[in-house]
Amino acid sequence: MNLHLSGREKRTSIATAAVIGAALLYNFVIGPLTGYWKLLGKETNKNYLELQKLRRALEMKDSVDKIYEDNKNQISLQGSDEQEIATVLTELESSSKSIGLDITTIEPLPVEDKGFCKKYSTRIEAIGEMATMGSFISAVENSTLLFNIERLQIQATREQNIVKSSFLISRILVK
């Protein structure tokens, strides 16, 4: 088969072959490489941010270790679960009495063992003036036993300036 193409047909054939070749090159070589390059850039940025975060944590290591050593006795177990619960209850009761808050119910909850630490939670219901309630919350938050108020519900009563509150207070200690 002898094909004789004119100059115009040859140029059109070459242009068509070039366009097809460029499309195949883009779809099977350049496109995947571009996608891989973008993915590599995203991974690099993600790893860089993680490295910065770890670097900041490493820079803070000495200050965190110092704070841990200063507070080691306050956040580590000193005795049995019963002794720790008694310590929590005693601290909460003495705080409420010194402020003048009337606790109606105080109920220690079961100890949660979380592997490397234990969580001691207590449910408290109290009645008192709003200012007294605020003072109690402040005393609990600033306690040397490092309490955490996980839940607080305040309800108004029929008496003016008297509120009924329900607290869930916890303390976490390292084993």
Among 69, 102, 106, residue whose Cα is nearest residue 85 = 106
Residue-wise pLDDT tens for the chain (175 aa)? 567 778 888 899 899 999 999 999 989 989 899 999 999 999 999 999 999 999 998 888 888 888 777 776 666 666 788 888 898 999 999 999 999 999 999 999 999 988 888 899 999 999 999 999 999 999 999 988 889 999 999 998 888 889 999 999 999 887 7
Say how far apart CA 141 and CA 153 lie, in whole Å.
Answer: 16
The per-residue pLDDT for 2 is 60
Angle (CA) 29-32-37 rounded to 5° is 115
The per-residue pLDDT for 76 is 64
Largest CA distance in the chain: 111
The per-residue pLDDT for 73 is 67
Report yes or no: 103 and 93 within 8 Å, Cβ to Cβ: yes
